[in-house]
Structure 1
């Protein structure tokens, strides 16, 4: 399973990329807005210099025609740009047309397997189920990943990749991989937490103490 970073913060992306584990980046209007004064196009272009992989740039239009127009513009910024559209009927229109143009899409805000199936049939490159937000409704979000993975496996014409989004913890990353997700996109803090364990810290302390004692 590939690991993406869910952020528009260039420092976070630069640090995660230095670990050698980063395959792509997802952004959205909220993440871009958090970077005060950041220009959307310039931010995406800068991310492309840090990560050689898919970079999701999200449209803000609500109608298919507007999404298509934005998507065509975004696709010109860099070959790695993936146009992000919502799981709506207007989003499907955009996915269908952009796919015919050879432009890859990420269908976001997916909350049920029907949305994932229709997005795949329309030609989505990536589907983004939001596991954390589904958990918030009292339903197990990871079950959604399992359902989509099973549906996609049963249809050899579907090439859409499952991106597990709304990741809240390192456990979500592991469960996503076990459930059949191709990608997990995570906040930087979750990636940091993934490499933390008290026994690791204790082991390092013990090794260093033993090394000093021998001198």
Structure 2
């Protein structure tokens, strides 16, 4: 399973990349705004900076919701760097745009997916990634991990090439469960990735090793 970091913070991206396990980055307008980045030129330069750090797919999200607007924005984003994947919302014009991008050699990530039916449409349109939102599904009273498993099973049965990118991950357990049910990618905050390092028995064992080493 690939690890993406879900942020626009360059310091966090670099820290995750320095771990040696980072495969890509996902971003959105909210994450850009959180870093104080606004204006088309500033956003483009920020994507370039991310691409300079990470040698992997970088999802860059459009803000348009009509077909022509999505296409225009997507073409500009894709021109920034070969690793840019255009992130498109799960709406009617979004699916239409994903098909256009696919036919014209531009990779896409279909975002805001909350059902298997939506995931099927993403795959049919040729999206490289589909992003089911685990945490938000859980918040609504349903099981986000179960949705990831359902999509992964459907894709395997039907032979769809679209990769399941589990998004809206809230904790380390989400990451582990996604790996268990067949997600191709998970995207999450740095804290969730770093939480995988932690276990109380590791801390106890290390403390004992260090204590014994002082006696040598």
Residue in 2 that maps onto 1:64: 67
Instruction: Describe the superposition over 1:154-209 as per-residue Cα deviations: whole angstroms up to 9, x where unpaired.
Output: 112x1100000000111100110111110000101111111111111111111111
Alignment partners' CA distance in 1, 2:37 and 2:117: 38
Per the alignment, residue 176 of structure 2 pairs with 174
Name the counterpart of 2:192.
190
Aligned to 2:86: 83
Unaligned runs of 5+ in 2: none
Distance 1:204 1:45, change over 3 A: same
TM-score (norm. length: structure 2): 0.97
- After TM superposition, the structure 1 = structure 2 runs for residues 1-215 of structure 1, keeping only pairs within 5 Å, are 1-37=1-37, 39-156=42-159, 158-214=160-216
TM, length-normalised to structure 1: 0.97
For the 8 Å contact 2:59–2:85, the answer to whether it is kept is: yes
Give the paired residue count: 213
Q: Could you give the per-residue CA deviations for residues 11-52 of structure 1, whole angstroms, max 9, x where no partner exists? A: 001011111100000000111111114621111111111111
CA distance in 1 between partners of 2:141 and 2:89 (Å): 23
| Cα root mean square deviation, aligned | 0.9
Q: Which runs of 5+ in 1 are unaligned?
A: none
Residue 150 (structure 1) shift: 1.0
